[in-house]
Amino acid sequence: MGRKGLLLVFSGPSGAGKGTICRALLNEIPSLRLSVSATTRPSRSGEIEGKHYFFLKRDVFKKMIEDGQLLEWAEVYGNYYGTPLQYVQKTLAGGNDIILEIDIQGALQVKEKFPEAVLIFIVPPSKSDLKLRLLSRGADAEGEVARRLACVASEMNFAWRYDYIIINDVIDRAVSNAAAIIRAEKSKPGYLEDFLRNFSDEKTSDR
Amino acid sequence: MGRKGLLLVFSGPSGAGKGTICRALLNEIPSLRLSVSATTRPSRSGEIEGKHYFFLKRDVFKKMIEDGQLLEWAEVYGNYYGTPLQYVQKTLAGGNDIILEIDIQGALQVKEKFPEAVLIFIVPPSKSDLKLRLLSRGADAEGEVARRLACVASEMNFAWRYDYIIINDVIDRAVSNAAAIIRAEKSKPGYLEDFLRNFSDEKTSDR
């Protein structure tokens, strides 16, 4: 079958649990691949080149932007971050599905270039639940929780531009919802183009 | 939650197994309801009023057409068949999902009136597979198999107008694909409108 893979883009407010969901999916679905981002920020201790990031020099990254070799990119606090196009294209052409775990701006850039990308927004069940999660992580450095809660309020306005929303109340249910979305996307006529063509072309004797 | 139910429309070539899939889904998902069609044809032995069909007089059926009380209808060999609108609307408003098992023309009528309806096309894995199924059913009254195979070829042209296609190769997989489609549809922003609104309206103390 000449089926191409799915381009799956996950984003959502920090603390919503998208990392956990993506890791569980990668464990569960062997054909899934994770896209590795490129960045110009220095690597931190424990980070592995090609696993956590591709660490690039600024001039290399800028050349990739110019040459259209990035599916999406952004500059954050003076560092560049982006998704190398080549690995994504190769994975999809090989018939594997690929996950991008990127921010909202990046996700919308991807949708513009690849309208067939599947955008999934992971959200906490409520603001008060998110607040509890952030506090229990101990991540509360002076007003950090308040800052994140203000952030989530504005991020939620983008939920409408996503194809799917997964409410992460119970992690197992959230993961199986994500798996269901993947199955559903593979049941769309566009994805089954080859099957439909082969079906029509099949010759059967008249009886 | 003021969530409305899903309107699920199943069609597909005869012999593809849509009846089996719909029955399995109704068993598996307690909130699912099956829509009962109305018809003017006489009831056959064993058929129960309100379960297999609502058996109506021609003038009653025609009045329903005039009054816009049918979601879709058709005249086949001189008899009318159609889907009463009221039961569908009541079921959806009550938050339950409803299955319509109807032909292609009916499905396309429904999509026109209810663009949010989810159209699912059940297909056999191949023409030769369908041929085997039809023969093994013993349904081969003189050229019947050839007639059905000719039919399926033209019916497959409508597959593109459906939201989803389920290839019924293994029945359990077909049923779980259908269940996945239902879960995915319930993860769309439009379906989660109330959740998104409630989320935004929620007040949390600043920390």
Domain ranges of chain B: 7-35+96-201
Bridge partners (DSSP) listed for residue B73: B82
Q: What is the model's pLDDT at position A115? A: 94
> CA of A141 to nearest chain B CA: how many angstroms apart?
12
Q: Taking CB atoms and an 8 Å limit, are B181 and A185 in contact across chains? A: no
Answer whether residue B173 shows pLDDT above 80: yes
Cβ atoms within 10 A of the Cβ of A182, count? 22
Annotated binding site of B for ATP: 12-19
Residues 6+ apart with CB under 8 A from A203: none
Mean pLDDT of chain B, nearest integer: 91
What integer is the mean pLDDT of A114-136? Answer: 92
> How far, in Å, CA of B6 to CA of B191, rounded?
9
pLDDT tens-digit series, residues A140-170: 666 888 888 888 888 999 999 999 999 999 9
- Examine the pLDDT at B2 and tell me if it is beyond 50: no
pLDDT for position A207: 45
Name the fold adopted by B7-35+96-201.
Answer: Rossmann fold (3.40.50)
How many angstroms separate the CA atoms of B19 and B21, rounded?
Answer: 5
- Chain A CB contacts of B188 under 8 Å are 163-165
In the block, tokens 């990035």 appear at A70
**Cα-based distances in Å from B162 to A116, B55, B155:** 17, 29, 12
Q: What is the ipTM of this complex?
A: 0.91
Is residue A15 marked as binding? yes
The residue with tokens 């339950």 is B96
Can you tell me the distance from the alpha carbon of A101 to that of A168, in angstroms, rounded to the nearest whole number? Answer: 16
- Residue B23 pLDDT > 80: yes
User: Does B145 lie at the interface with A, CB-CB under 8 angstroms?
Assistant: yes
What is the token pair recorded at B105?
């023309």
**Model pLDDT, residue B3:** 58
Q: What is the DSSP letter of A188?
A: S
Q: Residue B142 — very low, low, confident or very high, per pLDDT cuts 50/70/90?
A: low
